[in-house]
Structure 1
Amino acid sequence: MKNAGTLVVTTPSDREIVMTRVFDAPRDLVFDAHTKPQLLKRWLTGPDGWTMDVCDVDLRVGGTYRFVWRHAAGGSEMGMGGVYREIVRPECIVQTERFDQAWYPGEGLGTLVLREQDGRTTLTSTMLYESKETRDMVLKSGMEGGVSASYDRLATVLESQISGATKGAA
């Protein structure tokens, strides 16, 4: 699959980080990849060397999610979770985000918006933090590299979903 786009990161306000990427896939598939544990575990792993060992999703308003990642070298672990505040399939998900080992203060609020045109989906993920200092701390953390690597894997997962559907229809 050709890379439909690269990750674009912007900071439209003192408390927000907006990440945008285009995928060569319909938004139904991109939505599923963000909500189905069997797909999330294949791509949402950040930088190389990490795996997602826990992926619990209760996809309903007021439902929770819980993710735990483990690094192969040394076995360090990182966990996070949150609550779904809004779900409009296949257009939008709004959820809170709080890490177990609070490496930034408070919680973030994430909004995922998916827009499809001509079979391609533009994903826009906005994170709203409690302060400019927190936003800046996240920007300096290497988050962009981890998100970019994960989205590259997501493109591969989406390609396999499309290929599997095409083979199944043949």
Structure 2
Amino acid sequence: MSNNAMVSRIENDRVLVLERVFDAPRDLVFKMFKEPEHLKRWWGPRGWEVPVCNVDFRPGGVWHYCMKCVDQNQGQFFGMESWGKGVYKVIVEPETISYTDYFSDADGNTNETMPSTEITLEFIDLDGKTKLVNRAEYVSAEALKTVMDMGMLQGITETWDRLEERLNEVK
């Protein structure tokens, strides 16, 4: 585990900014977000796996995935599937990925009852380490509160812990 804990802050009541430094080169950290074989190994909170991960990594392309709870200790969540879809807007390798993130179903249809999010990932080179900055802009303060109440902050913290573990495996 890293000593580089995630830092989070809320701006303008509807923008969640997360930052963390990873002890890995920027190109490698970027690759973790680009290639499905890597995403399947670390995306999602602990106790969840990614049995479906389709990535069309280009502006206008779609990332469609399923997270499934495989941890019996998570009670009511065990066996649950959570589908998501990202539509890429801007990709500047290895510096930036921006996309709109949606809750979806298995067919990729957007769940209109859940808030979408405008995500911008910035990968900053720090002499062999990488500072990852994730800006998530929600349509309203209420939409941000909805996902925070769902435990999103704990989930993304565990997800980034898993990313760090994956980086340590491959570097």
- Work out the CA distance in 2 between the residues paired with 1:125 and 1:61: 18
- Structure 2 regions of 5+ residues with no counterpart? 73-77, 106-110
Report what 1:116 is aligned to: 125
Deviations 1:31-83 (A, max 9, x none): 0001111111111121x221111111100111111010111244111001021
After superposition, give the CA deviation of every residue in 1:131-165 in whole Å (9 maximum; x if it has no partner).
11001122222111111111111111111211xxx
User: What are the superposed Cα offsets for residues 76-127 of structure 1, whole Å, 9 maximum, x if unpaired?
Assistant: 1100102100000000000011102649644211000000111110000011
Give yes or no for contact 2:29–2:167 (8 Å, CA) kept in 1. yes
Matched with 1:36 is 35
Alpha-carbon offset, residue 15 of structure 1: 1.4
TM-score (norm 2): 0.88
Given candidates 72, 80, 87, the residue that maps to 2:84 is 80
C-alpha separation in 1, matches of 2:66 and 2:161: 20
Relative to structure 1, the CA distance from residue 35 to residue 64 in structure 2 (aligned partners, 3 Å threshold; closer, same or farther) is same
What TM-score results when the alignment is normalised by the length of structure 1? 0.88
Identity fraction in percent: 36
Q: Contact 1:4/1:22 (CA < 8 Å) preserved in 2? A: no
What is residue 18 of structure 2 aligned with on the other side? 19
Equivalent pairs, count: 160
The RMSD of aligned alpha carbons is 1.6
Q: Distance in 2 between matches of 1:103 and 1:71?
A: 23
C-alpha distance in structure 1 between counterparts of 2:115 and 2:158, whole Å: 26
Residue 161 (structure 1) aligns with: 170
- Identify the range of structure 1 (66-75 vs 128-137) with the bigger mean alpha-carbon deviation: 66-75
**Structure 1 contact 104–138 (Cα < 8 Å) conserved:** no
Extract unaligned runs of 5+ from structure 1: 163-170
Q: State how far apart, in whole Å, the 2-side matches of 1:79 and 1:32 are.
A: 22
